[in-house]
């Protein structure tokens, strides 16, 4: 049992230090996001190009299905529409106090920071069961969670906020919104707290249930995995499904939200079968499964962040079991079962050349977030178990401080990364030539270098829209 929110365990100075650390870490994250380049999807969506115009014109995919044609990312309408509106609005508003170039990077950084705060708060809520800066459990949870948001450091294996802002919306924001939608359910099962949403909350959940399924295939695959985990877990761990169903049925309004959500997730997955980029290589389902071990190896044994987190969870679990042999670690079995199901479900998404081994850090985010929640929860349980021993609590404090130091120091070098993309934009904005020759050292809001003038046509229009150039200005990179 975790400490009661009415039983604070942090001293005033330590509470102030943790809050200061959280604020400082968010400030560092914003600086890192501000210096990150703009990716190739953003300008294509903002224009938009023919690739995305088809989806924006046929959001439900009715014409696509009726004519048996394919679109690029047909079930990402809300993600695409959000990026389209956001980057046509926020950069222009922020130009009241920033230059046009700075406004674009500021807008991207602001969006990433908002998504980070959203997910950190939800991790804190899922770990402590409470919210508020007067709650020591919540403060400790988010202080621990925030260190795992790596921009440099271990980001290639456990980065939650992608270097590209578009992928942050596709993967991170969608999962963050799922955490909000499932909050009443998780509080009921994880903390035995009955949460009955009010009228406005139900309306908000209905809105989320409509939006989230159409932010990409990440969510439908996640929901399929959760369903299979519940089904398999009921048989393996002898949990009666009727008890789970009874809890869900207790609130008819929230139940209707979940039914709508599951139905729309099913339709979203059906739409994804019409994705023009889905499986260009023609690999079978079995061939895709065969690639999973390589992808898993790259995630677990690339940069060490993820396996350090897994080692820390193991240490916490061993110590908790030693202190209290009755401590229930069944949640680790449920986590293992979910991972197995999720890995088996991922190949249903098809095969993409940019993700050759099926698993990559971006579509592994649900597993990474669960690992972080397990770590924060077991750490809080350790603090609670040792709370009566001042000497042991001091050791615990040193243990937590060391972990925070390791992950913070690992991420600091990314503060010094130069943004050569921004330098190219500066040259483009001040040039008086009709066709500007720029360095090919880095891509300019694109996935590829502009080797010909036609390669810069989309960006020329969008840079003009953002006010970076006085007129559409084309360029070549070499």
Classify 105 as helix, strand or coil.
helix
The whole-number pLDDT of residue 30 equals 94
Q: Which tokens go with 333?
A: 């079995």
CA–CA separation, 59 vs 214, rounded Å?
9
Specify whether the CB–CB gap between 476 and 450 falls below 8 A. yes
CA–CA separation, 161 vs 226, rounded Å?
23
The whole-number pLDDT of residue 1 equals 42
Q: Mean pLDDT per segment of 10 residues, for the chain of length 478 residues?
A: 53 88 93 92 95 93 93 94 97 97 97 97 90 85 94 89 95 96 84 80 96 95 92 78 66 90 96 85 86 92 90 94 84 90 93 89 94 94 84 87 92 68 93 90 90 94 96 92
Q: Which tokens go with 214?
A: 């159409």
Q: Which residue has the tokens 């099913």?
A: 266
CA–CA separation, 357 vs 110, rounded Å?
32
DSSP 338-385: HHHHHHHHGGGG-BBTTBTTS--TGGGHHHHHHHHHHHHHHHHHHHHH
The whole-number pLDDT of residue 250 equals 67
Contacts 24+ apart (CB under 8 A), 118-123: 118/173, 118/176, 118/180, 119/160, 119/172, 119/175, 119/176, 119/179, 119/369, 120/145, 120/146, 120/149, 122/176, 122/179, 122/180, 122/183, 123/369, 123/372, 123/373, 123/376
Question: Is residue 477 within a helix (H) or strand (E), and if so which, with residue range?
Answer: strand 474-477
Residue 385, CA distances (Å) to 85, 318, 319, 324, 389 in order:
49, 13, 10, 8, 9
CA–CA separation, 72 vs 48, rounded Å?
13
How many alpha carbons lie under 13 Å from residue 312 in its C-beta half-sphere? 26
C-alpha 130 chain-centroid distance? 22
Specify whether the CB–CB gap between 339 and 192 falls below 8 A. no
**Residue 475's closest CA among 442, 433, 430, 447?**
433
Specify whether the CB–CB gap between 387 and 9 falls below 8 A. yes
Specify whether the CB–CB gap between 90 and 411 falls below 8 A. no
Burial of 117 (0-12, 13-18, 19+ CB in 10 A): middle
Residues 6+ apart with CB under 8 A from 366: 175, 218, 222, 225, 342
Specify whether the CB–CB gap between 81 and 205 falls below 8 A. no
Burial of 66 (0-12, 13-18, 19+ CB in 10 A): exposed
CA–CA separation, 110 vs 102, rounded Å?
12
CA–CA separation, 340 vs 336, rounded Å?
6
The whole-number pLDDT of residue 478 equals 85
CA–CA separation, 224 vs 260, rounded Å?
15
The whole-number pLDDT of residue 4 equals 39
Specify whether the CB–CB gap between 177 and 365 falls below 8 A. no
- Prediction pTM value: 0.93
Length of the chain: 478
Classify 146 as helix, strand or coil.
helix
Question: Is residue 335 within a helix (H) or strand (E), and if so which, with residue range?
Answer: helix 330-345
Classify 216 as helix, strand or coil.
strand
């Amino acid at each position: 049992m975790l400490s009661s929110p009415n039983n604070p365990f942090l001293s005033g100075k330590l509470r102030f230090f943790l809050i200061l650390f959280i604020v400082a870490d968010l400030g560092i994250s914003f600086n890192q996001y501000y210096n990150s380049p703009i990716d190739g999807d953003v300008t294509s969506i903002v224009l938009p190009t023919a690739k995305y115009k088809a989806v924006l014109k046929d959001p439900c995919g009715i014409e696509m299905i009726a004519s048996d044609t394919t679109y690029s990312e047909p079930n990402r309408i809300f993600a695409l529409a959000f990026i389209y509106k956001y980057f046509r609005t926020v950069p222009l508003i922020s130009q009241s106090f920033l230059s046009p170039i700075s406004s674009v990077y500021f807008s991207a950084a602001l969006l990433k920071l908002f998504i980070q705060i959203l997910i950190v708060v939800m991790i804190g809520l899922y770990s402590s069961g409470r919210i508020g800066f007067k709650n020591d459990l919540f403060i400790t949870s988010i202080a621990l969670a925030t260190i795992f948001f790596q921009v440099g450091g271990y980001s290639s294996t456990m980065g939650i906020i992608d270097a590209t802002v578009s992928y942050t919306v596709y993967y991170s924001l969608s999962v963050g919104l799922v955490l909000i939608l499932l909050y009443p359910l998780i509080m009921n099962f994880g903390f035995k707290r009955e949460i009955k949403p009010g009228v406005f909350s139900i309306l908000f959940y209905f809105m989320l249930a409509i939006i989230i399924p159409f932010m990409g295939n990440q969510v439908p695959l996640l929901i399929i995995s959760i369903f299979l985990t519940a089904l398999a877990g009921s048989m393996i761990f002898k949990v009666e499904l009727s008890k789970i169903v009874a809890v869900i049925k207790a609130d008819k309004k929230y139940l209707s939200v979940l039914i709508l959500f599951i139905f729309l997730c099913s339709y979203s997955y059906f739409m994804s079968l019409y994705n023009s980029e889905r499986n260009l290589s023609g690999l079978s389902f079995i061939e895709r499964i065969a690639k999973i071990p390589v992808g898993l190896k790259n995630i677990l044994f690339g940069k060490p962040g993820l396996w350090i987190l897994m080692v820390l969870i193991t240490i916490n679990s061993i110590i908790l079991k030693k202190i209290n042999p009755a401590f229930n670690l069944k949640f680790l079995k449920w986590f293992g079962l979910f991972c197995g199901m999720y890995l088996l479900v991922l190949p249903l998404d098809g095969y993409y050349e940019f993700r050759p081994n099926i698993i990559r850090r971006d579509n592994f985010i649900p597993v990474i977030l669960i690992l972080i929640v397990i770590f924060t929860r077991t750490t809080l349980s350790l603090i609670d178990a040792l709370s009566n021993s001042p000497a042991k609590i001091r050791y615990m404090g040193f243990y937590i401080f060391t972990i925070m130091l390791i992950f913070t120091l690992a991420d600091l070098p990314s503060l010094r990364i130069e943004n050569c993309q921004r330098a190219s934009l500066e040259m483009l904005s001040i040039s008086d030539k009709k066709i500007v020759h720029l360095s090919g050292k880095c891509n300019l809001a694109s996935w590829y270098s502009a080797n010909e003038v036609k390669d810069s046509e989309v960006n020329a229009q969008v840079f003009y829209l953002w006010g970076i150039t006085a007129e559409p200005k084309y360029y070549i990179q070499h």
